[in-house]
Structure 1
Amino acid sequence: MLLRPPLVSALRRNLENECDSTQRSAPPVPLWKTWGLRIIFAAMVIVLGSNQLNYILGGSSDWTNWRGLGHSMLFTLAVLAIGGIFRPLAFLPIMFYEIAWKLVWLYTVALPPWLAGQEIPNIVNARSSIIGICILIVLIPWRYVWWRYFSQPIEPWRRKKQASNNK
């Protein structure tokens, strides 16, 4: 079925109105938070990316499978963070992942030896992880997160059947 030009333009106007109303209702995000997120993303790309790239290029012959998995995932995280430099609000889920994996690591790997008075495994610096999580919690625009991920209608699970015009 071919769409007629007036119908196409009407659909386009409807879509533009929906996008405009969605954008208008988005809570404002302070510019300092956007730039702070950009700086964190850039640091992830530069620091995390260069460290993990050095590990990967250095060779993986002495790694366990889990260590190789960790380096691969961290390098991929650094590569994905490149997008966050340019579109920090669109790439916020990467920051959620960063917070989540560091909290899980702190709770499951670093906390038990620390409570037992033993040395914390030096895979990730626990002190810098805690500081980084605190900085991210301050920088993330939580009103925008609520609006974007929880107050918007969910995507449909399936498409509605269209009425047939062939009668």
Structure 2
Amino acid sequence: MRRKSKSDYEGSYATSDNSNEFDPMRDGAPKVALWKTWGLRIIFAAMVIVLGSKQLNYLLEGASQWSNWRGLGHSMLFTLAILAIGGVFRPLAFLPVMIYEMAWKIVWLAVVALPPFLAGQEIPGIVNVKASIIGICVLIILVPWKYVWWRYFTQPIEPWRQKKSINNNK
């Protein structure tokens, strides 16, 4: 089987010898500015260093004294920091991790932080609200949205099952 060149992926679906192979590269990906990939790398590195060290300290200090929900939160945040290691090296491949980071913070701000703020009460101090808002704004600028749209919405979905192969040796 020969190696496909870039021109093989241009235009419509590239065909292969095996009908059960799935080729997700239909069209060329939109270009992503180098400053955006480096910005994402820096954010991923900050997640690894800041979030990872903070959550690791929490986990080592005394997880046995937490409620189940607090333990769940710290475990998920530590796992997010571990996954961010991949984003330092491959920021476009790990974009779903960054999108998840933005999504959970937006949900937290809207559901947990906003109601007490509107009622004039103290906002729970689990997450720094100002830093979250600034971080979300920075990520909205850094995430290459054209690439996200191309990669996750315009590409054909993976097949649900293999195609039946026709046996020509009757």
Q: Shorter-chain TM-score: which interval? A: 0.7 to 0.9
CA, structure 1 residues 19+147, in 2 after alignment: closer, same or farther (shift >3 Å)? farther
What residue in structure 1 maps to residue 32 of structure 2? 29
**2:153 is the counterpart of 1:154:** no
- Residue among 107, 110, 128 paired with 2:110: 107
CA, structure 1 residues 19+39, in 2 after alignment: closer, same or farther (shift >3 Å)? farther
Higher helix share: 1
Q: Distance in 1 between matches of 2:8 and 2:107?
A: 37
Normalised to the residue count of structure 1, the TM-score between the two structures is 0.88
Q: Distance in 1 between matches of 2:48 and 2:59?
A: 15
The number of aligned residues is 156
- Give, in angstroms, the shift of residue 166 of structure 1: 3.9
Q: Distance in 1 between matches of 2:41 and 2:6?
A: 30
- Residue among 60, 76, 87 paired with 1:84: 87
- Give, in angstroms, the shift of residue 154 of structure 1: 1.0
- Give, in angstroms, the shift of residue 16 of structure 1: 5.1
> % of aligned pairs identical?
73
CA, structure 1 residues 24+153, in 2 after alignment: closer, same or farther (shift >3 Å)? closer
1:51-66 maps to which residues of 2 (within 5 A)?
51-66=54-69
Residue identity matched to 2:146? R
- Give, in angstroms, the shift of residue 104 of structure 1: 0.7
Q: Distance in 1 between matches of 2:26 and 2:78?
A: 33
What residue in structure 2 maps to residue 128 of structure 1? 131
Normalised to the residue count of structure 2, the TM-score between the two structures is 0.86
Residue identity matched to 2:80? L
Greater Cα shift, 150-159 or 46-55: 150-159
What residue in structure 2 maps to residue 140 of structure 1? 143
Q: Distance in 2 between matches of 1:41 and 1:33?
A: 12
Q: What SS is found at the alignment partner of 1:59?
A: helix
- Give, in angstroms, the shift of residue 20 of structure 1: 4.0
User: What do the CA deviations read for 1:52-81 (whole angstroms, capped 9, x no partner)?
Assistant: 000011121210000000000000000000
- Give, in angstroms, the shift of residue 18 of structure 1: 8.0
C-alpha root-mean-square deviation of aligned residues, in Å? 1.7
- Residue among 37, 42, 46 paired with 1:39: 42
CA, structure 1 residues 16+161, in 2 after alignment: closer, same or farther (shift >3 Å)? farther
- Give, in angstroms, the shift of residue 23 of structure 1: 8.3
What residue in structure 2 maps to residue 95 of structure 1? 98
Greater Cα shift, 34-43 or 55-64: 55-64
